[in-house]
Amino acid sequence: MEKLNMRYTSEMEKAMQGSHGIGFEEYKLKHDVRMEVEQRREREYVKSQRLIADIERKIF
């Protein structure tokens, strides 16, 4: 398995810790952790898009 070559800032590290409870080092080293984080992000994105569509439907 290949290690990701990623650059990240301390702000990005704080956001990753706050949102997902892991650091970038673990994220870039462990494929299963990356997949879990990305799947969670995808679910949150879909949920937000549905919420926006619902709000827009009620407004217009």
22-47: b (≥16 Cβ within 10 Å) or e: eebeebeeeeeeeeebeeeeeeeeee
pLDDT at 1 over 60: no
Condensed to tens digits (0 to 9), the pLDDT of residues 8-58 reads 889 989 999 999 999 988 998 999 999 999 999 999 999 999 999 999 999
For residues 15, 19, 21, 22, the Cα torsion angle rounded to the nearest 10 degrees is: -50
Q: What is the pTM of this model?
A: 0.74
